Chain A
Amino acid sequence: MTTAPAAPVAAAKAPSGAQQKILAFASLIVLLVFFSVASENFLQTSNILAILQATSVNGVLAIAATLVIITGGIDLSVGTLMTFCAVMAGVVLTYMGLPLPLGILAALGTGALCGLISGALIAKMKIPPFIATLGMMLILKGLSLVISGTKPIYFNDTPGFSEISTGSLIGVFLPGVPVPNGVLILFLLALVMGYVLNRTVLGRYTFALGSNEEAVRLSGVNTDAWKMAIYALSGAICGIAGLIIASRLNSAQPALGLGYELDAIAAVVIGGTSLAGGRGSILGTIIGALIMSVLLNGLRIMSVAQEWQTVVTGLIIIAAVYADMLRRRRAG
């Protein structure tokens, strides 16, 4: 026999997204240990709560971005959509003086509708997601300023609005652990969306679209409708972020929002979701968002200048994406 020995029957199981998640989780632990040693203030309950509080808005937006990115798309409008939803809540609650539940509904409905529009631009009009959501980003930023007359809308007339984010339901039952509601919402949302992604039809199609959209279409699935549904759900989640941030500031700040989309995408990428689509997880995204908050908080505690904090964030993003590239190259 002169032929080469038979190649291994099946390639070793390709490294899965789980490895990237473990890598991200390990990085988080390393950061926590490092900052705990570097500064005794770091591990104090108040600081931990501050980190979680700081994660809540970016974390929720990152969950919204995760959905879209797994389909192989991108959403640049999550930040300004968040603000637009907050403004619409302000219109309903403060301008119109309607009760709180309607304000919440306005924020979520606005988010879902705007997401649906983005989805339609992408699925029906075949506009590349980057361009469609870039357009939406600017449109929504402009509309927020127009509707609010460029001035913040305060929620002073709506009792309980600030409780949405800053109150602590957990603190009522466990007085020692006053976890703010904003954080509670983030983790509940993460649980729900983790379930949706892994256990429902919508979640299945989210992964399938990112994996091979044409194959899904040829299987007789209405890919356009599902894509629009996913963008709408993502938009509704931006509405939740809008409520959290408006509640924390007790106002809708129309000029806010730009730049949040990049932080959200960064968290998603650090968490191991592939920008090529098809793979990703909510757990990874939450870890990614926590890494960013811990890093910024820790550097601040160590009195590193804010300019350098930004530089470090950039380095982390590049390192995370490079790790993803290495993983996929090995997976072939």
Chain B
Amino acid sequence: MTELVRMTAIDKRFPGVHALKSAQFDLVSGEVHALMGENGAGKSTLMKILSGIYQPDGGTVAVEGKSVTVQGPRAAQSLGIGIIHQELALMNDLTVAQNIFIGREPRRSFGRLDEGKLNEDAESIFKAMNVAMDVRAEVRTLSVARQQMVEIAKALSYRSRILIMDEPTAALNDAETNELFAIIRRLKSEGVGVVYISHKMDEIRRISDRVTVMRDGAYVGTVAAADTPISTIISMMVGRDLENTDVDIPDLSAAPLALEVRGLNRGRTIRDVSFTLRRGEILGFAGLMGAGRTEVARAIFGADVRDSGEIIVHGKPCTIRSPKDAVGVGIGYLSEDRKHYGLALGLDVRSNIGMTSLFRFQNRFGVVNDNALAVVAKDYIAKLAIRTPTDRQEVRLLSGGNQQKIVIAKWLLRDCDILFFDEPTRGIDVGAKAEIYRLLQSLAAQGKAIVVISSELPEVLRLSHRIAVMCEGRLTGILPGGAATTQEHIMRLATLRQGALEEATA
């Protein structure tokens, strides 16, 4: 077993974020080394440095004992480092074979392509992987799982000695995951070192030899996968200090129902989801990536078409076909991607707060009463403690936490009393997180009904009065909030796959 990679004291800063603080990592040949941590812990950033996409601000990278600077993707390839990105990086309009060999096409004279050899080479890679694949098919015609296989084949085609997989099973079902694991084991036996980034605890135990945990951009520790209990790994991930935050759970049994959802279905992404939400309640939605939480929120909000399902708001059944209908009955949705869907970054704070309520500030000729809007905007700036020099400041110049508050102000002004928060603290630093939490709690105390979708378990545990857990489109259980529920309880429900259930009962 030779040492393939040793990264020491890696430092990386992005504007406003200290992404990696003296992080370290090592990899030997023939092992699967899992890299774990919460979202934003720095796993992907560390691996992007190893694969040449980012340059570190400090620290050293050694490959097979030699200190190297990985200048770019091409340099990484020649060092035998292959990466499978979290977001699929394929060219949809090209065929499978063309994707695999992009940049290294077998050529003949005058830049002519040798398409025959291209297809043969691609076929032999899939044969070695033991995967049946039409290498002449356009990538856009493949399912996401098949596209994932193409990514893996592409990484293997570099004869990588070091293979980085960032959440490779996020879109795979059980059978496909097993297939992938068979491939990984074969690679292991050939001496390839695999870095495996995943959130799925059960997978980590099945496939990896060692586990390195990161938190807030720093190295926490490395343990052997086989004899370390999952709870130990989880507590390494979250840090002990966050675990014993108490939730103050109000008695809501008398509070009227704000929202009731019955039998919500949408293709394979949402399967028969039903739940209720009371006024003044914070309902957390937990689950792994791709469990269908965002999809549920979007379906209720009318952003995606539902196959079936009843939505009852304040006791009245509603027809919600579009976001406009949803807003009409007082449902607001705060997207996980604020910058794309929540804000007009180039406009000022005032305009963003008034964005969905402009009709209230216009006279009958459609002229906006800017003075009235300014008064309201300043009121919300004070109420939500939005830190901005004036209400005319461009939103893009504010911090993530303050941007999030502006989105909240926008929906409050629109009189929405049922609010869906999708990853409300993504990209927000720790101090501002606490402030957003307090804001959500005070909104609930004022009688708003709140759904918080979050991939960060400590966040769910800290905020929720009840916790709904999803797995592969199904609601696998609703847990009470408070100290009685632990991350392990949630994890158990979040990994409760239907396939496993069926096998057990068959």
Contact = CB atoms under 8 A, between A and B. Distances in A.
Nearest to A201: B111
A188 B202 CA distance: 61
Interface string A27-69: 0000000000000000000000000000000000000000000
A202 interface: yes
Nearest to B76: A220
Which of the four size classes fits the interface of chain B?
35 or more
Could you say which of B72, B73, B102, B271 has the most chain A C-beta atoms within 10 Å of its C-beta? B102
A13 B141 contact: yes
Contacts of B143: 10-11
B73 A200 contact: no
Given A219-B102, A331-B140, A200 B91 contact: no
Interface string B101-129: 01101010011110100000000000000
A210 B110 CA distance: 23
B94 interface: yes
Nearest to B267: A7
Contacts of A208: 91, 94, 98, 102
A254 to B, nearest CB: 36
Interface string B65-98: 0000000111001000000010001111110001
The interface residues of chain B, by DSSP majority, are classed as: mixed
A11 B142 CA distance: 8
A215 interface: yes
Given A199-B113, A207-B93, A220 B142 contact: no
B167 interface: no
A216 B91 CA distance: 8
Contacts of A303: none
A219 B102 CA distance: 7
A217 B498 CA distance: 39
A215 B112 contact: no
Contacts of A174: none
Interface residues of A, number: 31
B85 A14 contact: no
B212 interface: no
Contacts of A79: none
B138 interface: yes
A212 B147 CA distance: 14
A20 to B, nearest CB: 13
A233 to B, nearest CB: 12
Contacts of A3: 271, 498
A217 B53 CA distance: 10
Nearest to A276: B93
B112 A199 contact: yes
A210 B115 CA distance: 20
A200 B85 contact: no
B206 interface: no
B113 A221 contact: no
A220 B90 contact: no
Contact of A219 (B103, B138, B271): B103
Nearest to B146: A10
A21 interface: no
B265 interface: yes
A207 B268 contact: no
Contact of A220 (B74, B93, B98): B74
A202 B103 CA distance: 11
Given A4-B271, A208-B102, A215-B91, A200 B111 contact: yes
A202 B107 CA distance: 11
Contact of A278 (B93, B113, B265, B498): B93
B108 to A, nearest CB: 9
B9 to A, nearest CB: 26
Contact of B115 (A199, A214, A215): A199
A204 B113 contact: yes
Contacts of B268: 4, 7
A313 interface: no
Contacts of B267: 7
A211 interface: yes
A72 to B, nearest CB: 11
A16 interface: yes
B141 A214 contact: no
A266 B312 CA distance: 50
Contacts of B107: 201
A330 to B, nearest CB: 12
A201 B113 contact: yes
Contacts of A203: 113
A141 interface: no
A96 interface: no
Given A201-B107, A214-B89, A219 B73 contact: yes
A279 interface: yes
A311 interface: no
A201 B105 contact: yes
A83 B1 CA distance: 67
A217 B110 contact: no
B295 to A, nearest CB: 15
A211 B95 CA distance: 11
A4 B267 CA distance: 8
A218 interface: yes
Interface of A: 2-4, 7, 10-11, 13-14, 16, 199-204, 207-208, 210-212, 214-221, 278-279, 331
Given A13-B141, A219-B154, 9 more contacts: A3-B271, A14-B138, A14-B140, A199-B112, A200-B110, A201-B113, A207-B94, A208-B94, A212-B92
Q: Enumerate the 9 nearest inter-chain pairs by beta-carbon distance, A residue then B residue, closest first.
A: A220-B74, A211-B91, A278-B93, A215-B89, A221-B103, A211-B93, A219-B103, A220-B73, A201-B111
9 contacts: A4-B265, A11-B143, A14-B138, A204-B113, A208-B94, A214-B89, A215-B90, A218-B85, A221-B103
